[in-house]
Structure 1
Amino acid sequence: MPYAFSLDDVAFLRSAEGEEALATCAALPLTDASRIADVAAARRAVGERYAAVLETVVLRRKAAAKVEQADRWLFTGDALQQASAAPVAAHRARRLAGRDVHDVTCSIGADLVELARTARRCVGSDVDAVRLAMARHNCATADVAPLLVRADALRPVTRDCVAVADPARRDATGRRTWRPADFVPALDDLAKAYPGRDLVVKCAPGIDPAVVPWAREVELVSLDGQVREACLWSAGLAEVTRRATVLRSDGTQWTVTDAEPDEVAVGEPGEWIVDPDGAVVRAGLVRHYAARHGLWQLDERIAYLTGDEPPPGVRAFRVLEFGNYSEKSLRATLRRHEVGRVEILVRGLDVDPNALRRRLKPKGAREASVVLTRMGRTPVAFLCEAERIPAG
């Protein structure tokens, strides 16, 4: 069970004594093997607050890939898990630059910090007093100063500003939930609480747009190849109906929308196979992406694309040979090319890549990628070399 922080814990962790305790325990290994020894050492060094200190040290280590200056922030376990990664939060904030913004579920402040950097005026509120106290500390650490208020997201305390919400997406058993009514606060309730207001809601990427009719734009966002969220934009903020935004930790990004052309052919394989970013696939923008880059489809129902020149900045697959797929023929192909290490990608076929790899028992010094898919009703296997295409 995650540690339940109290307001007294937060006050201690923010104090000079708490900072010293955190610095002392930051040197502990905190592994499963060292757990007993670490707890004993923390008790000796810190006293009764040892549990809050150890939990904070552990959470700061986990947060390093999500939050800038994570070694100075305060977190709860649940809040960290739900917090937006800094590049994702910064992207959303840029779309709201210069506006008055109210983060109505600000939690420990991951989104709030970025909103405060771009908004004309910024308010953060949360019903949880502990998380609000942590947000106050984290905002000060990030050198921003939004107005912080304890309030229920469903009882508005501001007017004439954009409301931003990040509802909790887990049910009482800890499992992820997909029904809008099970979000906390519920998505429909959020929409009703801010009638006529511009509203932005961060959701799980599997949300069905049909269940949130008030959302005029659904934006799927990925970071470094992993789909992170769906962002719902109300009528006053929507620019298109569907958008895919692809972010990289190096600061580069691109986007594709349903306002772009989507007329592409279905045809024979070109020199390359391209597996579009998951945000593009989930947003239903595979054809738009293909049209932009001069690609075409192998099958109109499958997301793999092909062409003679891959888009910049992607990992693409140069086709060495292809043919009708069977396990026997694929085994022979790998043996002929002396492939010993093989990556297997599958779309449109009921094949478990890991189980197939074990059965193939590849042997050899060469590394290759195998793409399994359908062209019409025919299963096809492509033997490929994966390459990272430089960004344009």
Structure 2
Amino acid sequence: MLVETVLLRRRAIAKLTELPGSAGWLLTDDALQQASAAMVALHRARRLQGNMIHDVTCSIGTELAALRAESVSAVGSDIDPVRLAMARHNLRDNTLLCRADALRPVTRGAVVLADPARRSGARRRFDPRAYQPALDALIDAYRDREIVVKCAPGIDFDAVARLGFDGEIEVTSYRGSVREACLWSAGLAEPGVRRRASILDRGEHFTDAEPDDCPVRAPGRWIVDPDGAVVRAGLVRHFAARYGLWQLDPHIAYLSGDELPSGLRGFEVLDQLGFDERRLRQALGALDCGSLEILVRGVDVDPDALRRRLGLRGSRSLALVVTRLGSGTAARGTAFVCRPSR
């Protein structure tokens, strides 16, 4: 048990280090996997400032610690006595904790925060009705309350709507990785917003209430791959409109422009050709390419396998953007050989 605790604490450093007081926490493997990264939990806590919160699935106390760090009043409960005991040890303050079933309300008036389990052993649960507790049961149990529910980033938005949820779905990314989707009931959402992408590293937020005027045009000097949270939230056009970019294809997330917006990573187009491995090998060889970053959308290509088959021997680091342009019989695989901006 001691060895396991030490190993878990080492793994927790990358995930929870920004959370005050988390260095000596008691953890379980499942609880650590499900816990939000500290910056994501702190972001959520800031959105909840000014409210009283009841974390009905408090587990080892991650969300409660983030709420405390942002001076948000909160109480916690969990049905698992072991995790509840760990939370008491981890929080080490006067946070009110009790054992309770998340589907049986024990508070009144507080905003409900829930993080239902999305794993069964090593297997992920993709159906929100298979969460523990089930998402539809949570929504029904607190239909007369404001509620915030942490979900897997790949959750089916249409399935959530069919469960009767009519609030905001926020997709959050941190350090280049999409971390989670979070449901915010209508009373906690910005008026008119149903989808939001939050890029915590940049402090940027995009919503479906913003303009989405975005033309489809031929490639310009630069190709931009929007942050994964923007893509997952379906806000690519909104992202493009804010930065003055355009789409290469109405169904593909890659964007283009003649100028690279400040702070964004982009790929300067050096060559464009139909996707053909022989021609690609020749083009990359002519550019002295030795290492290659490969981005793929809309085409069935394994980047690692393609990289091995190309057998590059040069000294230059380049990027390859492979995508599908057009639809129906006019659809074609296209490859852009690029120089990454950084």
Residues 223 and 145 (structure 1), Cα distance of their counterparts in 2 relative to 1, 3 Å cut: farther
Q: Structure 1 residue 116: deviation in Å?
A: 2.5
Q: 1:247 aligns with which of 189, 200, 214?
A: 200
In the alignment, which residue of structure 1 is the partner of 2:126?
178
Describe the superposition over 1:280-336 as per-residue Cα deviations: whole angstroms up to 9, x where unpaired.
001000000000000000001000000122233332111112122211111110110
Cα distance in 2 between the residues matched to 1:163 and 1:184: 16
Show the 5 A alignment for 1:1-392: 52-68=1-17, 69-118=21-70, 120-140=72-92, 145-171=94-120, 173-213=121-161, 214-239=165-190, 240-248=193-201, 252-376=202-326, 377-388=331-342
After TM superposition, the structure 1 stretch with the greater mean CA deviation from structure 2, 160-169 or 208-217, is 208-217
Specify the SS of the correspondent of 1:227. Answer: strand
Q: Distance in 2 between matches of 1:210 and 1:268?
A: 32
Q: How far, CA to CA, are the matches of 1:302 and 1:120 in structure 2?
A: 41
* In 2: Cα distance, 1:305 partner to 1:183 partner: 36
Give the SS at the match of 1:72. coil
Could you report, residue by residue, the CA deviation over 1:319-375 in whole angstroms, capped at 9, with x for unpaired residues?
112122211111110110111111111111111111111111011111110111122
- CA distance, structure 2, for counterparts of residue 332 and residue 205 of structure 1: 39
Count of aligned residue pairs for this structure pair: 330
Counterpart-to-counterpart distance in 2, 1:227 and 1:238: 21
Deviations 1:121-157 (A, max 9, x none): 21011111111111112212xxx54211111111111
> After the TM superposition, which of the residue ranges 371-380 and 93-102 deviates more from structure 2?
371-380
Instruction: Compute the RMSD of aligned alpha carbons.
Output: 1.3
Q: Any conservation in 2 of the 1:323–1:381 contact (CA below 8 Å)?
A: yes
CA contact (8 A) 2:22 2:90 kept: no
Question: What is the alpha-carbon distance in structure 2 between the residues aligned to residue 238 and residue 70 of structure 1?
Answer: 30
Distance change (3 Å), C-alpha of 1:73 and 1:333: same
Read off the aligned partner of 2:133 and give its amino acid letter: P
Consecutive unaligned residues in structure 1, runs of 5 or more: 1-51
Distance 2:124 2:13 in 1: 23
TM-score by length of 1: 0.82
Amino acid at match of 2:10: R
Distance across 1 between alignment mates of 2:203 and 2:85? 33
- The DSSP-based 3-state class of the residue aligned with 2:33 is helix
Asked whether the equivalents of residues 96 and 118 of structure 1 are also in contact (C-alpha less than 8 Å), the reply is no
Kept in 2, the 8 Å contact 1:98–1:118? The answer is no
Deviation at 1:118, TM superposition (A): 3.3
For 1:179 and 1:313, locate their aligned partners in 2 and report how far apart those are by CA, in whole Å.
37
Distance (whole Å) between structure 1 residues aligned to residue 175 and residue 88 of structure 2 = 30
One-letter amino acid matched to 2:144: G
| CA distance, structure 2, for counterparts of residue 187 and residue 167 of structure 1 | 8
1:245 offset after TM fit, Å? 0.5
TM-score (norm 2): 0.93
The structural deviation recorded for 1:174 is 2.5
Post-superposition Cα deviations, 1:152-191, rounded to whole Å, max 9, x if no partner, equal 11111100010000000013x5310111221000001111
Q: Measure the CA separation in 2 of the matches of 1:229 and 1:157.
A: 27
Shift of 1:277: 0.7
Does the CA contact (< 8 Å) of 1:101 and 1:119 recur in 2?
A: no
Which amino acid in the other structure matches residue 122 of structure 2? G
Write the distance in 2 (CA, Å) between the matches of 1:70 and 1:101.
Answer: 21
SS where residue 217 of structure 2 aligns?
A: coil
